[in-house]
Amino acid sequence: MGEKHVVRFEPVGIEIEVDSDQTILRAAAEQGVQLMHGCKEGQCAACKSFVLEGEDIELDSYSTFALPDYEKEEGQTLLCRAHPFEDLTIELLNYDEEIIRSGLPLRTGTVEVVAIEPVTHDMRHLVVKLIEPEEIKFFPGQYMDFQVPGTDDTRSFSMANTPNRDGHFEFVIKVYPDGLFSQHLATRLQVGDRLAVEAPFGTFTLRESRTCDLVFVGGGAGMAPMLGLLRSMADRGVERKVTFYYGARTRRDLCFEKELVALSEQLADFTFVPALSEPSDDDDWTGETGLITDVVARREPSLAGRDAYVCGPPPMVDAAIVTLTRLGCSEGHIFYDKFTTTGEPEG
């Protein structure tokens, strides 16, 4: 245990105590304060904030893409990497009144593998059930951290399902040739194996106080939280219009097509628009082609007044934010999760 310091967040006026051994983001989550975050590893910049008072802060390693040196010198910091060594006042640059006080308790636990099925040539559908504790609550769109067996490393995976009584969790996981966790999943993990987990994390959740039409943009394993959000909207009879643009390379990279077609029967006004960026001659594809951002721009003359949810590989998310903003979405109403991979953080 280090020393405890008071960290005050403005403009929301919330104060928490943070042990200097902990990051500010972690301490806030443990105290039910849900700050904006994505990777928790200093890579995505979702937690970037401004230090108004105090300067004795130590940062764990982070990417200078997320926090360039000039921003750090101006007083910006990454709450997922920042340890306080004195009392601080932080201005949240990116916060959401609707979720900041709705943090669910973080729980560590053990899950058991129920099924591992391929959904494409390089993506697996993993289903696990909770062994302990009795319950881990989450909002659709949030994610769980898995400890990689035999290591201290963790990897984050978004729930594709909605909260349920039988304690099942579903994931869509991309397999990388040298991926620490994903290779374990693809080659060694068996039904019945147990894994250590912690959840819930993330702020990629449906802002329920809003009623406007929705546009979802996803790619690759970004399908997972989108499914979670759509399934939850269908279960609860949410009637907002939603268009889901999903980018894949070729037809063999598409998944959950049948379920998405079925969801258009259940949801009041749902359109699924898959697009292939590199269709092969064998694909016999008559749907949309090109980069998913170009497809959105082609089909949507204006997105003013819509809320957007974007999820997938970081370059796709960055490109989508630019396109959506250009088409009239307000920046504050573009919600996203970047699936950063761990690798070696730069800087």
Residues that bind ligand FAD (CB under 6 A): 38-39, 143, 155-158, 171-174, 176-182, 202, 221, 224, 337, 339-343
**Among ligand FAD, ligand FES, none, partner that 9 touches (CB below 5 to 8 angstroms by kind):** none
**Among ligand FAD, ligand FES, none, partner that 178 touches (CB below 5 to 8 angstroms by kind):** ligand FAD
Residue 118 vs 315, nearer CB to ligand FES: 315
Shortest approach of ligand FES to residue 282 CB, angstroms? 39
Cα 323-141-196 angle, rounded to 5 deg: 130
Residue 46 vs 276, nearer CB to ligand FAD: 46
Residue 71 vs 294, nearer CB to ligand FES: 71
Residue 84 vs 345, nearer CB to ligand FAD: 345
**Among ligand FES, ligand FAD, none, partner that 80 touches (CB below 5 to 8 angstroms by kind):** ligand FES
- Range 253-281 burial, b when 16+ CB lie within 10 A, else e: bbbbeeebeebbeebeebebbbbbbebee
**Among ligand FES, ligand FAD, none, partner that 180 touches (CB below 5 to 8 angstroms by kind):** ligand FAD
Cis amide leading into 315 (omega within 30):
no
Residue 38 vs 163, nearer CB to ligand FAD: 38
Residue 78 vs 324, nearer CB to ligand FES: 78
| Environment class of 228 (CB within 10 Å of its CB; exposed 0-12, middle 13-18, buried 19+) | buried
Alpha carbon separation from 100 to 36, 148, 154, 197, 208 (Å, rounded) = 8, 30, 25, 23, 13
Task: Count the neighbouring beta carbons within 10 Å of the beta carbon of residue 289.
Answer: 14
What is the dihedral sign for C-alpha 102, 105, 108, 114?
negative
Shortest approach of ligand FES to residue 227 CB, angstroms? 23
Shortest approach of ligand FAD to residue 84 CB, angstroms? 24
Residue ranges in the chain assigned as alpha helix (H):
24-30, 69-74, 97-100, 180-187, 223-236, 257-266, 292-299, 314-326
Residue carrying structure tokens 């993990």: 189
Shortest approach of ligand FES to residue 68 CB, angstroms? 13
Shortest approach of ligand FAD to residue 41 CB, angstroms? 7
**Among ligand FAD, ligand FES, none, partner that 279 touches (CB below 5 to 8 angstroms by kind):** none
**Among ligand FES, ligand FAD, none, partner that 142 touches (CB below 5 to 8 angstroms by kind):** none
Residue 20 vs 142, nearer CB to ligand FAD: 142
Shortest approach of ligand FES to residue 47 CB, angstroms? 3
Longest dimension (CA), the chain: 63
Shortest approach of ligand FES to residue 76 CB, angstroms? 11
Residue 49 vs 120, nearer CB to ligand FES: 49
Residue 159 vs 175, nearer CB to ligand FES: 159
Instruction: Name the DSSP class of 299.
Output: H
Shortest approach of ligand FAD to residue 328 CB, angstroms? 27
Q: Which residues bind ligand FES (CB under 6 A)?
A: 37-40, 42-47, 66, 78, 80
**Among ligand FAD, ligand FES, none, partner that 314 touches (CB below 5 to 8 angstroms by kind):** none
User: DSSP states of 68-113 as a string?
Assistant: -HHHHHHTEEETTTEEESS-EEEEESS--HHHHT-PPPPEEEEEEE
Closest by alpha carbon to 138, among 157, 152, 125?
157
| Environment class of 54 (CB within 10 Å of its CB; exposed 0-12, middle 13-18, buried 19+) | middle
Starting at the edge strand found earlier in the chain, the sheet holding 270-276 runs 288-289, 270-276, 242-248, 214-219, 307-312, 334-338
Shortest approach of ligand FES to residue 316 CB, angstroms? 17
Q: How far apart are CA 193 and CA 190, in angstroms?
A: 6
